[in-house]
Amino acid sequence: MSKRVDVVVVGGGNAALCAALSARESGAEVLVLERAPHAERGGNSSFTAGNMRFAYDGGEQVLSLVDGLTDDQIERTDFGTYTEAQFFDDIARVTENRCDPELADVLVSNSYDTLRWMHSKGVKFLPLYGKQAFEVDGKWTFWGGLTLEAVGGGPGLVDALTAACQKAGITIEYGARAKRLIADETGAISGVEVRQDRKVSIVEAKAVVLAAGGFQANPEWRTRYLGPGWDVAKVRGTRFNTGEGIKMALEVGASPAGNWSGAHAVGWEFNAPEFGDLAVGDSFQKHSYPWGVMVNAEGKRFVDEGADFRNYTYAKYGRVILDQPGQFAWQVFDQKVVKQLRDEYRIKQVTKVTANTLEELATKMDGVDPEGFLKEIDAYNAAIDQSVPFNPNVKDGRRTQGLAVDKTNWANTLDEGPFEAYQVTCGITFTFGGVRITPQSEVVDDDGQVIPGLFACGEMVGGLFYFNYPGGSGLTNGSVFGRIAGRGAAALATS
């Protein structure tokens, strides 16, 4: 391992690799320290679906990022627009206006240009057909501001960025666990203490970029900061995001920021393993709930499944599921919508029951009160305004009236068997609390001063997301601020 470089990047996911590429193209010699072994590289990014939210003024900007669509596909696709104002408003709305407006503005205004930069580095994108658009009358119409995914999902994104790093001459050390930041007598960061192959060494650097993720894989920290019960949540991603990057920064005086009691958490396969499984990837998620209903152990609905498009509610409903008796729920669908269920419902590793009647289904859903469930569904079916047509591409206003928890869109009666039900629990993706940064990705101390030589990006930064987040903005956040952090670190190191 090199003992002296211009820039050290701590982490190996999307934010870290973007920071490394940005620093290298700005003229710095770069070393990446990835705690995981090569087989588990990529941090949380490897466990994502690779969806990336960005602002665009029309289909031409979308198509500038996409290769290989046929003329027929283009003609039958309505990408619409998703302006910077819409993106900013979505972040503000779902975070209940608590997001740092400066950071949000940087994210939004740099989103499209950053994806173009990634595309120039070899990252390929495809439209999210079947997930963010459905074919109605021969036309695909995108909704919810989320349009593209990286080819190959999260693993494909990590592979593409890793290949770009190798091409650029960036050294990536695997199984290299950063343990401590080194500061000189002025307080400026001058290196990192690293443990690799059971040996401890010091890497000197003129700047350090921390991109080591949140603390979601640390059950003690989850319980300490998120609250009781979070120790039993499933971890969607890597087992290596235990908060050490945040701890290192706090130890040198970094200011904590953001929603430390909040996290991105979703409905997740009930019998999934404790941590993410790269062979299954993101497919343990279960995100077609807007087309059906979710019930708890009492057989009762407990959320408005149609409150908004899936990508504006899924990141907060995991927490609601965790609060239910037994920390589980069942998602129930009938034949009217089964064909619209996302691909993750068709994997082998799924807790699923089917039945020809609701009465039979009620006896098969483990842990659910059958009588309470049947009473709930009877009331639900009777409360639906069936005069409003069902349309999955818009918030259709097909709703219930008069229930304790009304469903405000996409309310279909459950009356066409065979019925299908899927058991889910809470899967935590990443935590919202972290360190405070400037819009230039510089880490700020408790006195409000920049810590010289220290930058941060990705999931370990606090202040942008509170309570919830717009789907696909996490990866874009990592890429935007990773690029900014790498550029800033290189400028400092080579000045």
Domain of 19, CATH number, reads 3.50.50.60
Same domain, 406 and 464: no
Same domain, 60 and 20: yes
245: which residues sit within 8 A by CB, 6+ positions away? 10, 11, 178, 210, 211, 212, 213, 456, 460
The secondary element (H helix, E strand) that includes residue 293 is strand 293-295
Q: Of the candidates 381, 411, 426, which is a domain's last residue?
A: 426
Q: What pLDDT is recorded for position 495?
A: 86
Average predicted confidence (pLDDT) for the chain: 96
Nearest-angstrom CA–CA distance, 428 and 222:
10
62: which residues sit within 8 A by CB, 6+ positions away? 56, 79, 127, 147, 148
User: Does 127 reside within a domain?
Assistant: yes
User: Does 467 reside within a domain?
Assistant: yes
As a whole number, mean pLDDT of residues 115-144 equals 93
User: What's the pTM?
Assistant: 0.94
As a whole number, mean pLDDT of residues 211-225 equals 98
Same domain, 283 and 354: yes
Same domain, 317 and 285: yes
Confidence band (pLDDT; 50, 70, 90) for 2?
A: low
pLDDT tens digits, one per residue of 233-290: 999 999 999 999 999 999 999 999 999 999 999 999 999 999 999 999 999 999 999 9
| Cα dihedral across residues 217, 223, 227, 232: positive or negative | positive
User: Does 261 reside within a domain?
Assistant: no
Same domain, 124 and 144: yes
pLDDT tens digits, one per residue of 285-328: 999 999 999 999 999 999 999 999 998 999 999 999 999 999 99
Confidence band (pLDDT; 50, 70, 90) for 1?
A: low
Same domain, 321 and 388: yes
Query: Does residue 488 contact residue 455 with C-beta atoms inside 8 Å?
Result: yes
Same domain, 421 and 451: no
> Phi/psi at 334 (nearest 5 deg)?
-115, -175
449: which residues sit within 8 A by CB, 6+ positions away? none
pLDDT tens digits, one per residue of 153-180: 999 999 999 999 999 999 999 999 999 9
Q: For residue 136, is pLDDT > 90?
A: no
User: Does 237 reside within a domain?
Assistant: no
Higher-confidence position of 443 and 3 = 443
Same domain, 384 and 441: no
User: Does 172 reside within a domain?
Assistant: yes
Q: What pLDDT is recorded for position 97?
A: 97
Same domain, 348 and 445: no
SS3 428: strand
Nearest-angstrom CA–CA distance, 345 and 352:
9
Q: Of the candidates 391, 426, 461, which is a domain's last residue?
A: 426
User: Does 277 reside within a domain?
Assistant: yes
pLDDT tens digits, one per residue of 3-35: 999 999 999 999 999 999 999 999 999 999 999
Q: For residue 469, is pLDDT > 90?
A: yes
The pair of structure tokens assigned to 36 is: 């995981």
Number of folded domains in the chain? 2
The pair of structure tokens assigned to 107 is: 């994210």
Q: Of the candidates 393, 426, 459, which is a domain's last residue?
A: 426
Q: Could you tell me which of 92, 93, 116, 118 has the C-alpha nearest to residue 105?
A: 92
Strand partners, 353: 421
User: Does 73 reside within a domain?
Assistant: yes
Same domain, 158 and 279: no
Same domain, 169 and 270: no
Q: What pLDDT is recorded for position 429?
A: 96
User: Does 253 reside within a domain?
Assistant: no
Confidence band (pLDDT; 50, 70, 90) for 131?
A: confident
Count the Cβ atoms, other than its own, within 10 Å of residue 442: 22
The whole domain housing 99 covers 4-216+432-494
Same domain, 97 and 127: yes
With b for 16 or more beta-carbon neighbours within 10 A and e for fewer, the 361-393 pattern comes to: bbeebeebbbebbeebbeebbebbeeeeeeebb
pLDDT tens digits, one per residue of 391-424: 998 999 999 999 999 999 999 999 999 999 999 9
Among 130-144, 147-161, 441-455, which is the least confidently predicted range? 130-144
> What CATH number is attached to the domain comprising 327?
3.90.700.10
